[in-house]
Structure 1
Amino acid sequence: MVNIIDKFLQDLKINGTAEKTVMDYSKFLKNINRQKSLEKWDKTDVNKYILEKHNECFAGAQICKVKLKRFFTWAGKSELVSHLNT
């Protein structure tokens, strides 16, 4: 069975996203999916992750916000990321 991350990556490829960008999303999403399945994330998980990244590096947090927003919007869960300014 193809999981949600693989479906998202496939969609990126179909829509002409550069291979480097697809690989970047793949690493990012699979890494955070190990902590907790993305299918089970809620708004609290999103906020917690962004705050962790913000403490490491502001620019890194901004990139994570963009990636999370793109993924969750695609997945039909835009309510999890609608509060993020990107």
Structure 2
Amino acid sequence: MKKAAIIIASGFEEGEALTIADIIKRAHLQCDLVGFEQEVKGGHEIIVRCDHILNETLLDYDMVILPGGVWWSRSDEK
């Protein structure tokens, strides 16, 4: 079975990451959310729990996806 990893970093664009994950899973392929931490807050302050923490296991995937995002947190706007 083909495997995809979506890299999730703080400020990620939730629509880009989660829509892609949904489409891949509907195709009956394995798709894991991989973050720098177990729980990562997106650009719209939605917290996502990742399947794995980023390490060298990315070598085991057929595809790595990097969704866009923002480098700042919405809480910084105040």
Q: Same fold (TM over 0.5)?
A: no
Give the number of the structure whose residues are more often strand, by fraction.
2
The normalised TM-score by structure 2 is 0.30
Give the number of the structure whose residues are more often helix, by fraction.
1
Q: Which structure carries more relative contact order (alpha carbon 8 Å, separation 6+)? A: 2
The normalised TM-score by structure 1 is 0.28
